[in-house]
Structure 1
Amino acid sequence: MQKQQFVLASIALSVASALAHADATTTGGSDSDTVSTLSKVTVTANKKEEDLDKVAPNINVVTRTQLDENAASDLSGIVKDVPGVSVEGQNSKFGAAEVTIRGLSGARSRVLTLVDDERLPDTYSGASDQALTNWRGGKDFVEPDTLKQVEVIKGPSSGLYGGGSLGGVVSYRTFQASDFVDDDKTFYGGFKQSYDGSNKGSGSTVTLATKQGELSGLLMVTSRRAEETDNRGDKGGSGTSRTQADPQLVKTQNVLAKVGIDHGDHALTLSLEDFRRSTYTNYLEGVTGSTKADNLDVGVKRSKMALDYRYRGDGNFDGVKLKLYHQQLRDRQNETKLTTTSATDLYTWDQDLWGLNGQTGWQLGGHHLTTGTELVAKNSERDMPKSTGSNAKYYPATKGYQFGVFVQDEFELGRFSLTPSLRYDLSRIRPENDAVYLANSGTVTSKDKFSASAWSPKLSIKTALSERLTGFVNLVTGFRAPTFEELYLGHDYSMYRMMLIPNVNLKAETSKGIELGSKYASASWNWDNTAFYNKYDNFIEQKSFVAGSTTYYQYQNIDRAHIYGFETSSKWAFAQDWLLSSSLAWAKGYNDTDHSALDSVDPLRVINSLAYQQDRWGSSLKWTVSAKKAAGDVSNSAYFRTPGYGVLDLSGWYKLNKQTTLRLAVNNLTNKKYWNWSDVKTLQSSAYPMDRFTQSGRYVTASFETSF
């Protein structure tokens, strides 16, 4: 009962600012009565630049200021406060993490991740969702200090972004030289030092930028070092009963370089980036029985090169955008076990990705047209050489490509603004004749190629309900072709009485959805609301069945699934220097075939914060509340269900001078013991000591940033 009252109290607080402001407006208050105003934010989620308060409420932005306030040093810090978004696997021994948007996870390529409009390489899970796996990978190889802002589009987005955006889009925007220098200030130098007490992590970033006439350049170099992320487990030692985090050392280096030339209406930018992270884990929980030692050394390298050309239009012509890029991912996971002998297994994952994007737009009478195209080619290979000289493969090497083309029209019809769009996507994957894969009971050859295509329409309707209140309706569709892993995963684990079976007959996932929303925007108060309902056909899930004494795993299409929910957020500058912010996200999801719950959907979460800010200093108190995971919201009653919790974070900043800022935060102020559902979903407390998966207790983050 106390926990229910706790959650209800937080929900009440999340709408208090709205009710209070409504009352103030009724009694004659106006924006001019409040000195504090809310800043403007520009987004490009709809393939053009727009003010955030003009777009539908399913689009959220994380600004550079918010990233600094959250001391973002990894993926979970980047999207920490976005309603309806969570991160899974952040603190795993693999250093791998994925974003989940409204119950759909990037781990199954249902969330599209972009960096400056470039697709990141694919993720993988290794073996089985339902069985323990020795290796996995994510998309957490983006350096937070290089980000200017992050745009999150929630809900099916294939009408503009194509395949892979069934659940939404996470679009990172990195800094440009023009963010630091111009014709008046031709040189910029910056240094940032940060500390994260949850993992004893330290980070250093050096930024240099220059502009000389038409030429400009940017260089950002980041180095990070951290240990294991602390939890609330109190049992050390080794073996499966250990609850403390396994000892870990994580080192990260990132270099981002950009050189640009800006000549009249033409701009050309060359971008280079090299991201490297090594994660060494002393896997003490795996030391049991005959296993005397178990160490995992993971190395991830992502490198990219991109050439970006832009022609600025004038009048009725928007101009032209062209981008050619190459992304290369190299993942090495080296596991060494000491039993009666020493054995080393090397798990490798390589992908090369080439992309070409183009976009243009123009005004034609009362219509604003935008059209674009995308071509992506991928070569992928995963290998597992063993120290014994043998080799194993879960998939054959594959080659594939994706092609997409879209058109969008924006026009006025009476008091309504209508924006229909239509995109065509074609996806093809061809496996190689891989002798090693076939020798490990894989059954796929080059004749088992896969092809899928789809037309994805979208209609957005916007209308002014009053001077400051705007209503939105989105009718959306989604498309996702099966991944190489879902199609071709196959391996003989008969010694463990387990088999992984390919399924080259999978169908592409599709979705249809509706979203109703509203936005109230004034100089001192914003209030966004959105309700959504999405239906998914041919939803792909991994299923298991038992024959004899062997358990078989295979990805299969289930007939249908649906997810629905509600989100609200508000910001109210209710007095000079004061800001009250609130957000709430609630969703439910079900498999319509067997009527079981979708375990990927997070429980209700509410975030309230009160901030005070002057020119030289500021402080904020944040209260994050999560409801418990109810029995009816899990597909298996044996799964551990996270209890509800409330966590307080206190932060502050101080400007020593115009160029230098200090930040300090005390997180989990009350040292609360809690679990995030995204980290423990589908785990059974009878099989694991659950304290191992608790979040960090009380810890401090700090940063020092200066420029010249």
Structure 2
Amino acid sequence: MHLGRIFLPTRIHHMAQTQHSKLYLQALSALTFLIIHGGVLAAAGATPSNSNNTSTTATERVKENDTSASSPSSSKSSSTASPTVLPEIGVSSTRIKQDAITINPTQTITTIEAKELERTQPTTIFEAIRDTPGVAIEGGPRPSGMTFNVRGFNSNEDVQVRVDNVPKGFEKYRFGGTFIEPDLLKSIEVQRGPQIASGSGSLGGTILAKTKDAADLLKPGRRYGGRIKLGYASNNDEVQRSYLAFARPVDAVDILYNRTYRNSNDITHSDGSKLPQSKVNSRAQLLKVGIFPTDFLELITSVTLLEESGLQPYDALTSDPGLSNFGNVLRDIEDLSIAHTAHWNPEYRWIDLSATVAFGHTKVLETYLPGMSRNRSCGLQGVTFCGNDYHDQKVKGITLELTNTAQLYKQDNFSISLLTGLQYRSMENETRRTTDSQGPNINESFPADGFWAASTSGENAYTAAFIQSRIQYGRLGIIPGVRVDWYEISSTEDRVKRHLAEKGLSSEIDFDHTSYSMGLTFDAIANSLTFFANYGEGFRPPSINDYFTYGDRAGTPPKPANWLPNRPWLGEVGLGPPYSSGEGRCNTPDTNFLCGDVFKIQSSQSSEIGVHYQTPNLFGKNIQLMSKFTYFHIETKHLLRYFSIDDLTNTYVPQDGWEKRNGTEFEGSLFYKDSYFRANYSRTWGSYFNPQTGNISSIAWVPANTLNLTIGTQLTSRVGINASYRKVSERPLINGGTQDGYELFSAGGFWSPTDNLTFRIIGENITNKDYHLNGGGDFSGLLGNRGPGRNIRLITEITF
């Protein structure tokens, strides 16, 4: 059986999609030409449209007057609206402000602004967004073991994370894989559910983080400035040092440099015991330069670097004694991102153009010393020298993106806007396993070239085009969209490529996928009550490892005891010494036991309905209220984890596993003078079908029901206080039993005796509650590590 014959039905499906994709691409290309051509005319002196046709810009999004306990000298943040989301019309043209947390009225998008980051002073990006409805943090409390869970999706391949549009995070066994220093950030946008610009890997949602800008920090009339931040945490004796310098030497140039250090001891539980190997030793830097040649053009370059090292557990995700027996490793991490962005928004309604060229890499080097359980070479027969083992993983990424928002028509109560975009992303993964040990049998398990058949190197690349329009007629808004992705997933291992070539098989798998979206909005009461409904499709392709990995040693697969007598048992030579054959994950000898492109693409359909209500004068008083309720339903098909080949017949078992999720999310804010109150609640439930057992069961890896309450006030212009309450309900565990719920109380405040000096105090888990976190990754439905006990943080900020 040839691989091409295995994939024939899917090929036919993809060929049909390709014909539609060409039509979409041709239409998009023609539209892009018109937009660029119109922009050239405008730049050459074409008369801009009159004021009746000016665009509704992203800065018209709802802003809320949050008087959270942050320094009064803080600069107002610039707009954090994403260039890949159409601006709101109608309900967004309100006078209610949001400058701490921005809630999109008709989409499930919440943005944590700079003012809220100042108030909470999170030590990880995970802590920064944990109060967002539908979001939970899994793994931890070690930063290297934390992962996002958005509406029950918890894989790095289901939740995208980007910093200045550079993709972050990668798949590594029992590891988090996301490294971001929150002190470098000015905003974090949390998108629940797939968006038109997200593409694959966003079944659960997307986390978009933006780094600080000098323009947000400079005081009026100043050209230069700086800040020194010193912090101490009582729980693990963490010491934070942050040095920030920013300048606008000339009107057309902004420069910012930020350097942050974090060092700590092990985390302390409520009973005084320690969480082993939870020390932090990290260094982070941000360099950002902005150039503004004209009033309509801005060019930004940002460089972020995070380095971390230390003794850490190999398994950073779970505390289950039966699963977490991998011991410790020495781990060195380097995460680099370089992003070049341009934004051109002339006084011409057809052009609001954004472009990104970004590069990044993440390097994780693990060293297994002799005596560590992950050191395998010293236990091999005939070893003459026992040395270190190494696992070296490098992930390199390239991102190219071009988007434009055009106001095609606007007259009276009718308008049409159009978002178009082109994207290219490539992620290349290189994995090597080597050793210092010596002996006659070393090369059998540790080839000199570092090849590791169980986690091969490869590249995942795609090109995408999307188009989304917004048609607004009076109170009714219609937002249709379509996106086409062209994928190439390939192996870059020479051994694997030669091995596949022997059977006439390709080392590259190509496919395309089309996704659709639709949104409806209706302003029942202008600028006050809005109903909305959204539909979006997402997908997740198989990974490089799904397509191209072999067995651990890729040796001749043993013949099962129940193997049919008249059936040959084949082994395919080709990987090269010391491998006698190539045993892939599939029991298909004709494909060298590789699964190849017999997979189906995992896909999802997400639907949500909701209502948004706001008023600047509740009960006729100067009380501002904003509230939003959302109900969602997500159906995911062709689950990759249920892919299988029947051992006896070599028959492909249909990839028919599915999941169905339902959930409710509420977020609301209340403001009166210098006081505020915020409430968030989320509940998610669902079921899944396991085709291997035929059973339908409740999903155990969705977040528990969660309630977050925050209250605060500014007592004077220089003093502010706040308090928060978090209640997490109990939840069932996948292996039986129940994970207990818990309640956490926190409080904080600031005092600014002068304009240049601010003191902060933050108390976390004030009642010293003992509780368990969720397991992470594949162990989301299991009990995680115990959470930290009481923690008092003291922070001093000196600005100049």
Counterpart check, 1:658 vs 2:755 = yes
Cα distance in 2 between the residues matched to 1:165 and 1:266 = 31
Distance in structure 1 (CA, Å) of the matches to 2:635 and 2:111: 26
Aligned pairs for 1:284-683 (under 5 A) are: 295-338=328-371, 342-365=386-409, 366-388=415-437, 389=442, 390-391=446-447, 393=452, 394-435=454-495, 447-467=506-526, 468-492=528-552, 503-504=595-596, 505-523=598-616, 524-541=624-641, 557-573=655-671, 575-593=672-690, 594-614=695-715, 615-630=717-732, 634=733, 636=734, 638-639=735-736, 641-679=738-776, 682=779
Structure 1: 5+ residue stretches without partners: 1-34, 127-132, 236-243, 549-553
Check if 1:703 corresponds to 2:795. yes
Deviation at 1:146, TM superposition (A): 1.1
C-alpha distance 37-65 of structure 1, shift in aligned 2 (>3 A): closer
Flag structure 2 segments of 5+ consecutive residues without an equivalent. Answer: 1-64, 69-75, 93-101, 373-377, 380-385, 410-414, 559-582, 587-593, 617-623
2:254 corresponding residue in structure 1: 216
Q: How many angstroms does 1:520 deviate by?
A: 1.3
Q: TM-score, normalised by structure 2?
A: 0.72
Q: Distance in 2 between matches of 1:267 and 1:96?
A: 37
Within 1, Cα distance between the matches of 2:357 and 2:480? 28
Classify the secondary structure of the residue corresponding to 1:99. Answer: strand
Structure-2 separation of matches of 1:363 and 1:293: 57
- Alpha-carbon deviation of 1:438? 9.6
Structure 1 residues 454 and 281, CA, compared in 2 at 3 Å: closer, same or farther?
A: closer
Q: Give the C-alpha shift of residue 681 in structure 1.
A: 7.8
Aligned counterparts of 2:529 and 2:151: Cα–Cα separation in 1: 25
User: 372-381 or 500-509: which moved more?
Assistant: 500-509
Q: CA deviation at 1:683?
A: 8.2
The equivalent of 2:149 in structure 1 is: 100
Deviations 1:134-186 (A, max 9, x none): xx3411x11101111100010122x2221111111100011122212388321
- 1:79–1:480 CA distance, 2 compared to 1 (3 A): same
Q: How far apart in 1 are the matches of 2:510 and 2:739?
A: 40
Distance 1:526 1:156, change over 3 A: same
Q: 1:616 to 1:560 in 2, by over 3 A?
A: same
Distance 1:370 1:702 in 2: 45
Q: Which amino acid aligns with 2:329?
A: L
- Kept in 1, the 8 Å contact 2:289–2:301? The answer is yes
Q: AA paired with 1:598?
A: I
Letter aligned with residue 142 of structure 1: I
Alignment partner, residue 192 of structure 1: 229
Aligned to 1:11: none
Per-residue deviation, residues 580-611 of structure 1 (Å, max 9, x unmatched): 22111100122134312333201101112222
Q: Is the 8 A contact 2:729 2:741 kept in 1?
A: yes
- Structure 2 distance, partners of 1:493, 1:358, is 44
1:258 aligned onto 2:302: no
**Hey, what's the Cα distance between the residues in 2 that align with 1:40 and 1:256?**
18
Q: Secondary structure at the match of 1:317?
A: coil
C-alpha contact (below 8 Å) 1:452/1:481 kept by paired residues:
no
> Does residue 270 of structure 1 match 2:314?
no
**Counterpart-to-counterpart distance in 2, 1:137 and 1:583:** 26
Q: Distance in 2 between matches of 1:332 and 1:372?
A: 36
User: What is the CA distance between 1:71 and its match in structure 2?
Assistant: 2.5
Higher mean C-alpha deviation, range 83-92 or range 72-81: 83-92
Q: Work out whether residues 77 and 114 of structure 2, in 8 Å CA contact, stay in contact via their aligned partners in 1.
A: no
**Cα distance per residue 1:399-439 (max 9 Å; x no partner):** 23111111121121342012212111112111134438999
* Offset, 1:547: 8.0
**Would the alpha carbon gap of residues 681 and 559 (structure 1) be closer, same or farther in structure 2, given more than 3 Å must change?**
closer
User: What SS does the aligned partner of 1:166 have?
Assistant: coil
Asked whether 1:145 is paired with 2:237, we answer no
- Seen in structure 2, the aligned counterparts of structure 1 residues 294 and 138 have a Cα distance that, compared at 3 Å, is closer
Q: What one-letter code is carried by the residue in structure 1 that aligns with 2:122?
A: A
What letter corresponds to residue 366 of structure 2 in structure 1?
Answer: Q
Partner SS state of residue 244, structure 2? strand
Determine if contact 2:139/2:147 at 8 Å carries over to the other structure.
yes
The CA distance in 2 between the partners of 1:555 and 1:138, in whole Å, is 32
Structure 1 residue 320: Cα displacement: 2.2
**2:114 — aligned with what?**
64
* Residue among 127, 131, 142 paired with 1:77: 127
Amino-acid identity (%): 18
CA contact (8 A) 2:748 2:760 kept: yes
Three-state SS of the structure 2 residue aligned to 1:274 is strand
Q: CA deviation at 1:563?
A: 0.8
> Offset of 1:298 from its aligned partner?
0.9
- In structure 2, the CA distance between the partners of 1:253 and 1:203, relative to structure 1 (3 Å rule), is same
Residues 195/559 of structure 1: CA separation in 2 closer, same or farther (3 Å cut): same
Larger gyration radius, structure 1 or structure 2? 2
SS of the aligned residue for 1:700 comes to: strand
Alpha carbons of structure 1 residues 544 and 666: separation in structure 2 relative to 1, 3 Å:
farther
Number of the residue aligned with 1:230 = 268
Deviation at residue 487 of structure 1 after TM alignment: 2.7
Residue aligned with 1:676, SS = strand
Q: Shift in Å at residue 250 of structure 1?
A: 2.3
For the 8 Å contact 2:531–2:612, the answer to whether it is kept is yes
| Aligned equivalents of 1:599, 1:546: Cα separation in 2 | 27
TM-superposition CA deviations, 1:261-300 (whole Å, max 9, x none): 21113322222222211132378999x9xxx996411111
CA shift in 2, pair 1:431/1:704, >3 Å: same
Greater displacement, 45-54 / 190-199:
45-54
Q: CA RMSD of the aligned region, Å? A: 3.6
Distance in 2 of aligned mates of 1:704 and 1:503: 56
Secondary structure at 1:156 match in 2:
coil
More displaced 10-residue stretch of structure 1: 59-68 or 191-200: 191-200
Q: Which has the higher strand share?
A: 1
Deviation at 1:91, TM superposition (A): 3.1
CA positional deviation for 1:335: 1.9
C-alpha separation in 1, matches of 2:314 and 2:204: 34
Aligned CA distance change for structure 1 residues 449 and 610 (closer, same or farther; 3 Å): same
Aligned residues: 633
